[in-house]
Amino acid sequence: MTQTLADNESFTRHRHRLLEGMAHAVAEKGYAETTIADIVRAAAVSRRTFYEHFATKSACLIALYEAASHGALKVLRDALGPDRDWQDQVEQAMVAYFECLARNPALVRTLFIEILGLGAEGLAARRRVNDEIVDFMLLVINRSRGRRPLPREMAMAIVGGVNELVLNAIETGQVERLRELAIPAVQLIRAVTQDRA
């Protein structure tokens, strides 16, 4: 039992190091130029350890994308105060989300740009994460009594709009302004939901 627990902790620790190694290598060289040797060097683990966790370099990037996205979603969830009005909760969550992104601009580029370079595999990962964010948004907005529910398609449009704000900041070299994007993101959510009272 003790050995199994130690093995699980070691497995988890190595996986975490590999994800950090991937993030570091991709931030430095871009995904296309990153090799598995770069990842294991940055993670300070063996190539064998890499293959114990991931079959391919793309599988490692997807795991990083999903782990970081789940971290950002946790920030959104933790920012909520259920005793507050839903609009205040959305504003609070958006500010926390953009502050989270702003803390690691190199990772933001990996998550929003490099994942798209994987083609269908990357798009599928992006869709899964976006669906989780949509589910979260619908839960927060639609639990307010006396309101018409926000349709899933409109929540997806909001998530797409927020993603485009981030992509534009990356493409125009304004990642340092990510925190400021909370304002138009909140305005977008309010504009889409204002007729649902």
Distance in angstroms (rounded) separating the CA atoms of residues 169 and 102 = 11
Q: What is the pLDDT of residues 52-84, one digit of tens each?
A: 999 999 999 999 999 999 988 888 888 877 677
Asked if residues 108 and 196 have their Cβ atoms less than 8 Å apart, the reply is no
Tokens of 108: 């933001």
Q: Are residues 46 and 65 in the same domain?
A: no
Q: What pTM was computed for the model?
A: 0.85
Distance in angstroms (rounded) separating the CA atoms of residues 73 and 67 = 10
State yes or no: pLDDT of 87 exceeds 90: no
Asked if residues 31 and 49 have their Cβ atoms less than 8 Å apart, the reply is no
Q: Are residues 70 and 126 in the same domain?
A: yes
Q: Which residue has the higher pLDDT, 136 or 106?
A: 136
Asked if residues 143 and 151 have their Cβ atoms less than 8 Å apart, the reply is no
Look at the chain and report how many structural domains it folds into: 2
Asked if residues 15 and 64 have their Cβ atoms less than 8 Å apart, the reply is no
Q: Are residues 186 and 104 in the same domain?
A: yes
Q: Are residues 26 and 97 in the same domain?
A: no
Q: Are residues 170 and 191 in the same domain?
A: yes
Q: Are residues 115 and 90 in the same domain?
A: yes
Longest Cα–Cα distance of the chain, Å, equals 58
Q: What is the pLDDT of residues 172-189, one digit of tens each?
A: 988 888 999 999 999 998
Asked if residues 130 and 156 have their Cβ atoms less than 8 Å apart, the reply is yes
Its domain, for residue 1, covers 1-54
Residue 41 neighbours by CB under 8 Å, 6+ apart:
21, 25
Task: For the beta carbon of residue 28, count every other beta carbon within 10 angstroms.
Answer: 12
State yes or no: pLDDT of 100 exceeds 90: no
Q: Are residues 93 and 41 in the same domain?
A: no
Q: Are residues 75 and 107 in the same domain?
A: yes
Tokens of 182: 């909370």
Region 91-109: what's the mean pLDDT? Answer: 86
DSSP class of residue 41? H
C-alpha pair distances (Å), 160 with each of 28, 70, 114, 129: 27, 17, 17, 12
Q: Are residues 164 and 88 in the same domain?
A: yes
Distance in angstroms (rounded) separating the CA atoms of residues 51 and 18 = 10
Distance in angstroms (rounded) separating the CA atoms of residues 63 and 117 = 15
Q: Which residue has the higher pLDDT, 139 or 84?
A: 139
Residue 174 neighbours by CB under 8 Å, 6+ apart:
168
Region 147-158: what's the mean pLDDT? Answer: 90
CATH of the domain at 150: 1.10.357.10
Q: Are residues 67 and 46 in the same domain?
A: no
Q: Are residues 117 and 134 in the same domain?
A: yes
